Structure 1
Amino acid sequence: MERYEFFLKFLDEKDRIYLKELFYFEPDCAEFISRRLNIDLKEIKGRLKFLENLGIIKRVFIKENYIYFEIRPEWRAFLRKYYMEGRDDESRG
């Protein structure tokens, strides 16, 4: 559990928003996240790559034209508990 909390320290507010978006709408691709949040596609792709490099999310291939991302199972279990406890609100303040 501490390992996951350690990695959360590296995430800024935008990363947390993208991660929460994936938590509720996964698997999803950068293009759809960009449209839903009205944020530049290049920025979304960069942040998803960052989350992927940290090992929080992974690529999944569903359709030929898009690369989808989903939260890794161990992270999903941690985030489920994290969000249920409401701790994501604490990190903002």
Structure 2
Amino acid sequence: MRPFAAGAVALLAFSVAAPAAHAAPRTSCDAALATAQKADRDYNAMKADLLRSIADGGHPDASQRRELQQAESLRNSTATEAEHVCAGAS
């Protein structure tokens, strides 16, 4: 897990949460942040499922490991994109 990506999502969540709550229309920053948060949730859920399976004696196959790597890559790229979009919006 890349701490930077997770930290970026968390930092962005706190930095735009208050203004976003009062704005009815969705800005590009809000959309990018929502996408990054969804990718983060999806990755964490997939990782938790895989770890639970391993704890129960299972062995992830190559496709499961590849899917987790793809989810991690998507999480990282969407966090980076949100960081860029939101930095440009301020």
For the criterion TM > 0.5, the same-fold answer is no
Larger-gyration structure (1/2): 2
Structure number having the greater helix percentage: 2
TM-score, normalised with respect to structure 2: 0.30
Structure number having the greater strand percentage: 1
More contact order relative to length (CA 8 Å, sep ≥ 6): 2
TM-score, normalised with respect to structure 1: 0.30
